[in-house]
Amino acid sequence: MDVNEIVAKVRKEVLEQMGKGHANEKPQVHFFSGAAPELAKFIEHSVLNPDMTREKVRAECLLAKQHKFINICVTPYFVREAAEILKACNVGICAPVGFPHGAASTAAKICEIKECIADGATELDVSLNLVAIKSGEIDEAGRELKLMMDAAGHRARVKAIYEQGLLNDAEKKATLEMIKNSGVDYVKISNALTGKAACTEDVKFVRSIVGGSVKIKIDGGIRTAAKAREILDSGADRIGCSASVKIVTGE
């Protein structure tokens, strides 16, 4: 029996053992699905689209509970609903404040913070006053951030939204220094107003300025487990995304 005959015989036996039965039939290959349930503890499940409905929020809360995401991000309008659904589990409730421009009055943002916390929010993503920063009034933006942190007290974690795409290099550094010195829990690298996807370079840049005293959240275009791991490996502590379920299940 020559080599070709041996190979054909072995191939046939293997296929028969696999239940295929025919030598000409190729075995089915199963690739790794890409599921990454271990990433759930880093994911803030975002349901902030303007066309969001109460029914959809309820469904997404149940998914957040099922997959054990670190929190779910909902608009202030839905905080009470989300908090009621998730009250018996460890999924937090995150609400944006003054989003996205941060240009509402300080009093309005403080009222929003107090109401969100009263309704059950455990974390707040507060928009820094972009128009103040662009006007060179970084001290005013910092003063307002401090007032918002005081309003939150120790009842909710506060993340300062750093909307980097609208800032020049000098404004970026000044803003990050202000955030670093504020005592805020997190800086959230955001691209909501520019559409830029999250990238490792942004995380590394922010980390180079805030050091280890402030944790980092970043969002924007994170849709796969591989991308999520890449962002986390670059120094981020949290990621925000709407493709959360796909990331942890691989489906």
CA 103 to CA 11: how far, in whole Å?
70
Q: Which of 109, 159, 172, 188 is catalytic?
A: 188
CB-CB contact of 79 with 119 (8 Å): yes
Q: Which of 109, 119, 125, 185 is catalytic?
A: 125
CA 80 to each of CA 22, 146, 167: distance values in angstroms, whole numbers, following the listed order: 61, 25, 34
CB-CB contact of 128 with 149 (8 Å): no
Q: Which of 185, 217, 219, 227 is catalytic?
A: 217
The DSSP secondary structure of 114-126, one letter per residue, reads: HHHHHHT-SEEEE
State yes or no: is 204 an active-site residue.
no
CA 40 to CA 172: how far, in whole Å?
30
Which tokens go with 192? Answer: 């909501």
Q: Which residues contact 242 (CB under 8 A, 6 or more apart)?
A: 45, 46, 47, 49
CA 106 to CA 117: how far, in whole Å?
17
CA 8 to CA 131: how far, in whole Å?
74
State yes or no: is 109 an active-site residue.
no
State yes or no: is 188 an active-site residue.
yes
First to last CA, the chain: 47
Task: Judge residue 202's burial from the number of C-beta atoms within 10 Å of its C-beta, 0-12 exposed, 13-18 middle, 19 or more buried.
Answer: buried
CA 161 to CA 187: how far, in whole Å?
6
Catalytic site positions:
125, 188, 217
